[in-house]
Chains A and B, each alone.
Chain A
Amino acid sequence: MLSNKSFVRKTRHGRVIKVVREHYLRDDISCGALFCPQCDTSKAALRQTAENILVVDTNVVLHQMDLLENEIISDVVVLSVVLEEVKNKNLSLYNRLRAIIDNPTRHFFVFANEHHKDTYIKALAGETPNDRNDRAIRVATQWYQEHLGPSAKVILLTNDMDNRSKARESGIISETVQAYVQSLGKPELLDLVARSDAMDIDKNEAEDLRPNKKAVVYAEHKVMSEITAGLHQGRYHQGKLRVNRYNPFVAYVGSESVGEEILINGRQDMNRAFDGDVVAVELLPQSLLPGSQAVKIADRDDEEEEEEPVGLVPASADDAPQESQVQENSQLTGSNRPCGRVIGIIKRNWRQYCGSLEPMKMPGGSGGNVHALFVSADRRIPKIRIQTRQLANLIDKRIIASVDSWEPNSRYPSGHYVRTIGDIGDRATESDVLLIENDINSRPFADAVLACLPPLPWSVSDQDLLHQQRQDLRNLCVFSVDPIGCKDIDDALHCKLMPNGLYEVGVHIADVTNFVHPGTPLDEEASQRGTSVYMVERRIDMLPKPLTEDICSLRADVERLAFSVLWEMTAEAEIVSVSFTKSIIKSSAALSYVEAQARMDDSRLEDALTADLRNMNRLAKIMRQRRIERGALTLASPEVKFEIDTETHDPLDVGMYQVREANQMVEEFMLAANISVAEKILKHFPAYSLLRRHPVPTPNMFEPLLRTAAAVGVHLDISSSKALADSLDHAVGDDPYFNKLIRILATRCMTQAVYFCSGELSLPEFHHYGLAAPLYTHFTSPIRRYADVIVHRLLAAALGLSNLPPQFRDRSTLTSISDNLNYRHRNAQMAGRASVELHTLIFFKNRPMDAEARIVKIQSNGFIVFVPKFGIEGPVYLIGKGASKIASGSTSECSWVVDEEMQTVRASDGNCTFRVLDVTHVHIEVVEPQPNRPKLQLTLVS
C-alpha cells in the first residue's frame, strides 16, 4: 500500500518548497510477540509469561530512561513514532534506548507502527504533530490489544493526563509511570522515577519539602527564539561551557564570535549550566569585571570553603589548574578577559554522575520519602537534590544519580537515584567509581567478540609459513625487553652485524591485525575501547586476554607472527635503508629491563645475545644524542610505582619508577620505528594517514615556569624546543635534584600529543614538539592501543599486502576515529592517575609520615609543595583556615608576609623565610574533615 506524505519546508536560501515523500505501508510487519500465531516470530521479543506488555510514550522515554534501564521493566513495545521523536530530541537517550533494545534479556521490541497498514494514521485537519503522534501511539496500543487478544494485557504508560483519559475512553488500559511502578510492589524503585514527572503527581508533597520555594535564585533562561535572534544580532555568544576542574565556581565558554574564552564567574552567572553544556552567553559591561568580589562571596556562602586538594603532580598542562595561570596573566599583562553570564542553555550535557549523599541526620521513622543532597565525585558538578525512600541504605554508599531539571527557584538541580556501586571507602568500589567517571568500559568481552578469536591452543600454521608475503625470520636472534612480569609483549628487537660492516637492526611488532579484522565485533569493541587502561591493581584490556597474553604476545621460545621494521645502519647509526615486512619470529629471550641492564653491565658475559644488546645500546645512544641535538626535550615526570599486596590488593610500598639505560635503548628504537612507519604511510596515503602530533606550546603556557625560574635566578629560553632543551641543560644549582625539578615544572607547561588524520591539517602542523620530529605515529603497541592497529592496516595497505578498509577512505570517519582515540587515551590517563591517587590515600591511611618536599609555588595563603618520593603535590596553609599551628615555631601569634612577585613568604618576626624551590619537610597524613571523605593533608614540620 502506498501513501504520500507531503509537507512544506524552507530551504537554506529562504525559499519555501513543498516536499513530497513516498511512504509505504506494509502487511508483513510482525508484532514481536513470541506467542503470536499470525506473525513471523523469528525476531520476536515479547514473552507470553510477561504479566503486561507495556507501550511507552515519548516523554516516558525522554524522562524515565533510568527506570527503563532497570531490569524490572521488560516486555516493552517501542513504537517507531516514539523512537523517531526521541532520536530528534536527544541523541544520547536514543543511543541508550537502542542499547536496551539490543539486549536480548530485556525483551524490548521495536514496532514499526508508522509503516504498518493498520496502525498508520494521517494527521487530521488542525491536529498538531504532537497530538497526531499521541493518537498514533493510542491506535498502535489498541491494535496490539486486539491483535494479541485476551492472552496478553497491554498497558500504555504515559504521564500525560489528556492522553491517558483519551486512551481510557477508547478502552485502552493506561497508567502513569508512578502508578505502574507502585503496582510492582518494590518501593525502592520509585527512587528511579524522575522527579519532574513525579512532581505533577504529588505536587503538594514536593512543595512542602522544598526550602524557600518563593525565592528566585537564578535568572530565568531566555526562550529559544530570543536566543537565536540574539545570536544572530551578535548580542549573545554561543559556546561550550567548561568548568574549571580545580575551582567549580569558575567556568569558561570558548566562543568563536568573541575569538577568545569568555570567563563566567560564580554559580549565579553560570545560571544552572553544567560542564559541557552548549550555552548562550551575554557579555558583562566592563564595570562588572572581576575585582568586585562581592558577587562571588554571595553565592559561595553556603558551600564549604573549597580547598585545593592534595594530589598527583600534573603530568602536562592539561592536568594543571588553569585558573591560577589565567589570573596571573591578567595581572601581568593588564589585559581584561571578557566576562559574561549565561542567559540560556542551547544543549544540555547531562549524564549520570558518581558520588554519594551529603551526610545528614536520619529523619524520624523509616521508609518515608526524604530529600537528600547528592555530592558528585566530579568537583565540577553542583550538588543534586534527590528524593529517596531508602536513605538508611544509601547514606554510606557510592551511588549514581542523574539530573532531571533545574528550576530557577531552586538552588540545586533536582535529580533521582539510579543505582548503588558499593560502600564508600571500599577499594573496589572507589576503583569502579574512577572507571565510571572516566567512561571506561570494564565489562567482560561479549560472546560475539570472543567468537572472533582463533581457537586455542593456537600455533603458527603451515599456511602462515608458506605465505608468500610473510618472511621467515625465525633464524634471527630476536629478544624482547620489558618491565618485570610483563605478559602482553608487543615488541621485540634484533641486531646483527652483517659481513659488509653494516648493522641490520629489526623492530618486530606483534601482528595483531592478522587476528583483528576490520568490521568484526572484535574490531568494533577494540575501536570503541581505544586503549588498554592501567590501574594500580588491575589492567583493563582493549583486546581479550587470549590475544594479548598468548596469541599475539611475543613470548620467548615460541613462534609468533610479527610485523617487522628492518633497517640497515652504519656503525654511526646512520640509516642506510629501511624495509617493512610481515614475518614469523621466534624470540630467544624475554628479558626484563633489570636483566638486560645487568647483562650489559656484566663485563664477564660474552655470549651472542649480550653482544647484540651492547651493539644496540651503543647505536641507541648515538641516535638519542642526535635526537637531543635536534632539539628533542628530555622531560621528566615523577612516575610513582606501588608495590601491591597480592592478597588484599592494598599498597605495601611506594617509590619512584627507575629509568635505566635499557629502557632508553628500547624507547629509542621504538621511536625510530614509529618515525619510519609514519614516513611510509604518509607517502602512500597523504590524506588518510593517522599520525600523532605535539603542538608547540604558546609563550603564555610557559609563563608560570619562567616566573618560578626567574625567582631563583635561572633564565630559560623558550624560543624553540632546541633553545629550551639547552637552557634546561644549563639550569643546574648546588642541589643535585634542582635540574630534575625544573624539568618536571617544564613538562607540565606543555599540552598532550594528539592523534589526527593527515588530511585535516597541513604539513607544518604535523610537527611533534617534544620529540623534535616532523612526523610521528604509533606503530609499536597494537596489543594495547587501537591507533597502532589502524597504522598496521595502513602500512599493510601501503605495502600492497591488503586492501585499505573502506572506512579509511573517508576523511571524516578517520577524524571521528582519531577524536575517539584522543578521548579514550586521555580518559585512560586520568583514570590511571586517579587510581594512583586513590592508592596513595590508602597507603597513607595507616602510615602518617614525614617527608622531604620542595616548594613549587608561593601563593597568598601559603605555598604548594611537591613531595618527590611519593610524586604528590599539595598546598601547605600558613594563613587562614587550615594553617598549621607549628609552622611558625615558637611564636604562635606570628603572621606571614607573602611576596607573590618575588615568590617568597617571610615570617613577620623575620625568623623564617620560604623561597620557591626551597627544600622543606612536611608531615603527610590522612584526615577526615567530614565522615567518609578522607583526604590527604600536608603540614609543615618545624
Chain B
Amino acid sequence: MEFISPEGLRLDGRRPHEMRQLHAEVGVVAKADGSALFEMGNTKVIAAVYGPHEVQIHSQQLHDQALVRCEYSMAAFSTGERRRRGKSDRRAMELSLVIRQTLEAAILTHLMPRSQIDIFVQVLQADGGTRAACINAASMALADAGIPMRDLVVSCAAGYLNSTPLLDLNYIEDSGGGPDLTVGIFPKLDKVSLLQMDSKLSTDLFEKVLTLAMEGSKAIAEYMRQMLLENTQKLAFARGTLKR
C-alpha cells in the first residue's frame, strides 16, 4: 500500500515530518486534583489525577516514597465498532504499566512517603498514537495537580513506512505493518524515559526514526508548556495575584 504519494503527501495530507493538530486543556474534571484533555488529531484522551492522599490498602504503603497507581481504559465508543472493553484485558494492563512506569520516573516520589497518587487515563477516541497521547495527558494532569516532578514527560510516536520515517502515525498508518516506536522524554533534561518498539529495524534506520520521534516530542513539550503557562496565568488572574 502507498502511504506516501510520490509527491510527498501522506494519506491525510500531512508531510512525513508533520504532526497532527494538537489540542490540550487542563482542569477538565472539576472533582479531580488535576486533570487534562489531550488531542492529537482524532485521538482524544482524558486524564485525571487524585492525590497525593493516604494509601487505601495499608499493606501497599511504601515508607520511603509515594505509591503511584495507574488505570487505563478505553471508552466503549472510542473506536468505530462500539465494544465494551475491560480494564483487565492484556493490552490495557500493559498500557497501565507502561504509563505508570514512565510517569513514576518523573514524579519526585521520595518527597511524599507513605502517600498514594492515582492516575486515571481514558481514551475517548482512538486514531493511532494512543500510547503517546495517554502519557501526554497524564503528564499534564500531574502538573495540574501540582505534584512535584523532575520535568514534564512528553511522548510521541514515529514509524517507518514506504522506506520513509513518518512522525505521529494515525490509525491507518499504524496498521500498515511497518515498524513503529513510541518514545517518552524529559525535554529539559534531554533524557529518554520510555522507548518501545515491537518490530525489527536496522540500527541506522532505527536511529533516524528515533531522532524524528524525539524531535516530535520536543515540539509537543513546547506546546504543553505553553498551555500550562496560560492556565497558570488564568488562575493567577482569578486569584488576583497577577495584574494585567
A→B interface (CB under 8 Å): 2, 4, 9, 11, 15, 17-26, 80, 98, 101-102, 110, 112, 114-115, 519, 803, 806, 809
User: B residues 29-43 with Cβ under 8 Å of A?
Assistant: 41-42
User: B residues 1-37 with Cβ under 8 Å of A?
Assistant: 5-7, 9, 11-14, 20-21
Q: Which single residue of chain B is at the shortest CB-CB distance from A9?
A: B80
Asked whether, in the complex, the Cβ of B202 is within 8 Å of the Cβ of A110, the reply is: no
Q: Which single residue of chain A is at the shortest CB-CB distance from B172?
A: A21
Asked whether, in the complex, the Cβ of A26 is within 8 Å of the Cβ of B42, the reply is: no
Asked whether, in the complex, the Cβ of A22 is within 8 Å of the Cβ of B202, the reply is: no
14 residue pairs of the A-B complex, CB under 8 angstroms, read A2-B21, A4-B42, A9-B80, A18-B80, A22-B12, A23-B12, A98-B6, A102-B6, A110-B5, A110-B7, A112-B7, A803-B202, A806-B201, A809-B200
Q: Which A residues are CB-close (under 8 A) to B122?
A: none
Instruction: State the 5 A-B residue pairs at the shortest beta-carbon distance, nearest first.
Output: A24-B13, A17-B80, A115-B13, A22-B12, A22-B41
Contact of A19 among B6, B9, B80 (CB under 8 A): B80
B215 at interface by CB-CB < 8 Å = no
Minimum CB–CB distance for A519 against chain B, Å? 8
Minimum CB–CB distance for A524 against chain B, Å? 12
Asked whether, in the complex, the Cβ of B13 is within 8 Å of the Cβ of A23, the reply is: yes
Give the one of B13, B81, B170 with max A CB within 10 A. B13
Q: Bound state CA distance, A806 and B162, in angstroms?
A: 12
B118 at interface by CB-CB < 8 Å = no
User: B residues 142-198 with Cβ under 8 Å of A?
Assistant: 163, 170, 172
Q: Which B residues are CB-close (under 8 A) to A23?
A: 12-13
B127 at interface by CB-CB < 8 Å = yes
Contact of A22 among B6, B9, B20, B200 (CB under 8 A): B20
Q: Bound state CA distance, A19 and B12, in angstroms?
A: 14
Q: Which single residue of chain B is at the shortest CB-CB distance from A804?
A: B202
Minimum CB–CB distance for B162 against chain A, Å? 12
Q: Which B residues are CB-close (under 8 A) to A98?
A: 6
Minimum CB–CB distance for B148 against chain A, Å? 36
- The B interface, classified by DSSP as helix, strand, loop or mixed, is loop
Q: Bound state CA distance, A895 and B71, in angstroms?
A: 96
Q: Bound state CA distance, A444 and B42, in angstroms?
A: 49
Say yes or no: A15-B81 contact (C-beta < 8 A), given A26-B13, A110-B7, A112-B5.
Answer: yes
Asked whether, in the complex, the Cβ of A11 is within 8 Å of the Cβ of B81, the reply is: yes
Q: How many residues of B contact A (CB 8 A)?
A: 22
Q: Which single residue of chain A is at the shortest CB-CB distance from B12?
A: A22
Contact of B9 among A4, A101, A112, A806 (CB under 8 A): A112
Q: Bound state CA distance, A23 and B11, in angstroms?
A: 8
Give the one of B11, B42, B80, B205 with max A CB within 10 A. B80
Q: Which single residue of chain B is at the shortest CB-CB distance from A102?
A: B6
Q: Which B residues are CB-close (under 8 A) to A806?
A: 201-202, 205
Minimum CB–CB distance for A5 against chain B, Å? 9
Q: Which single residue of chain A is at the shortest CB-CB distance from B177?
A: A810
Say yes or no: A110-B6 contact (C-beta < 8 A), given A803-B202, A809-B200.
Answer: yes
Q: Bound state CA distance, A809 and B127, in angstroms?
A: 29
Asked whether, in the complex, the Cβ of B42 is within 8 Å of the Cβ of A22, the reply is: yes
Minimum CB–CB distance for B28 against chain A, Å? 21
Say yes or no: A24-B6 contact (C-beta < 8 A), given A2-B21, A11-B81, A17-B81.
Answer: no
Q: Which A residues are CB-close (under 8 A) to B5?
A: 80, 110, 112
Q: Which B residues are CB-close (under 8 A) to A2?
A: 21
Q: Which A residues are CB-close (under 8 A) to B80?
A: 9, 17-20
Q: Bound state CA distance, A15 and B13, in angstroms?
A: 29
Q: Which A residues are CB-close (under 8 A) to B163?
A: 519
Q: Which single residue of chain A is at the shortest CB-CB distance from B170?
A: A22
Minimum CB–CB distance for A671 against chain B, Å? 34
Q: Bound state CA distance, A806 and B161, in angstroms?
A: 12
Asked whether, in the complex, the Cβ of B14 is within 8 Å of the Cβ of A24, the reply is: yes
Q: Bound state CA distance, A18 and B9, in angstroms?
A: 25
Minimum CB–CB distance for A112 against chain B, Å? 5
Q: Which single residue of chain B is at the shortest CB-CB distance from A25?
A: B13
Minimum CB–CB distance for A516 against chain B, Å? 18
Q: Bound state CA distance, A777 and B83, in angstroms?
A: 51
Q: Bound state CA distance, A26 and B8, in angstroms?
A: 13
Minimum CB–CB distance for B58 against chain A, Å? 46
Q: Which single residue of chain A is at the shortest CB-CB distance from B42?
A: A22
Q: Which single residue of chain A is at the shortest CB-CB distance from B43?
A: A22
Q: Which single residue of chain A is at the shortest CB-CB distance from B80?
A: A17
Q: Bound state CA distance, A80 and B127, in angstroms?
A: 24
Minimum CB–CB distance for B168 against chain A, Å? 11
Q: Which single residue of chain A is at the shortest CB-CB distance from B203?
A: A803
Q: Which B residues are CB-close (under 8 A) to A112?
A: 5, 7, 9, 13
Q: Which A residues are CB-close (under 8 A) to B9?
A: 112, 115
Q: Which single residue of chain B is at the shortest CB-CB distance from A21?
A: B12
Minimum CB–CB distance for B174 against chain A, Å? 13
Q: Which A residues are CB-close (under 8 A) to B81?
A: 11, 15, 17
Q: Bound state CA distance, A242 and B41, in angstroms?
A: 50
Q: Bound state CA distance, A260 and B183, in angstroms?
A: 54
Q: Bound state CA distance, A22 and B5, in angstroms?
A: 17
Minimum CB–CB distance for A686 against chain B, Å? 16
Q: Which B residues are CB-close (under 8 A) to A22?
A: 12, 20-21, 41-42, 127, 170
Q: Which single residue of chain A is at the shortest CB-CB distance from B10?
A: A24
Q: Bound state CA distance, A24 and B7, in angstroms?
A: 15
Q: Bound state CA distance, A25 and B163, in angstroms?
A: 24
Say yes or no: A20-B13 contact (C-beta < 8 A), given A110-B7, A112-B5, A803-B202.
Answer: no
Asked whether, in the complex, the Cβ of B200 is within 8 Å of the Cβ of A24, the reply is: no
Q: Which B residues are CB-close (under 8 A) to A519?
A: 163
User: B residues 72-112 with Cβ under 8 Å of A?
Assistant: 80-81
Q: Bound state CA distance, A112 and B201, in angstroms?
A: 31
Q: Bound state CA distance, A899 and B5, in angstroms?
A: 65
Minimum CB–CB distance for B42 against chain A, Å? 6
Q: Which single residue of chain B is at the shortest CB-CB distance from A15?
A: B81
Q: Bound state CA distance, A384 and B6, in angstroms?
A: 36
Minimum CB–CB distance for A293 against chain B, Å? 50
Q: Which A residues are CB-close (under 8 A) to B201?
A: 806
Give the one of A98, A110, A114, A115 with max B CB within 10 A. A115
Q: Bound state CA distance, A112 and B205, in angstroms?
A: 29
Minimum CB–CB distance for B214 against chain A, Å? 22
Instruction: Supply 5 further A-B pairs (C-beta < 8 A) apart from A80-B5, A519-B163, A809-B200.
Output: A18-B80, A22-B21, A102-B6, A110-B7, A806-B201
Minimum CB–CB distance for A823 against chain B, Å? 23
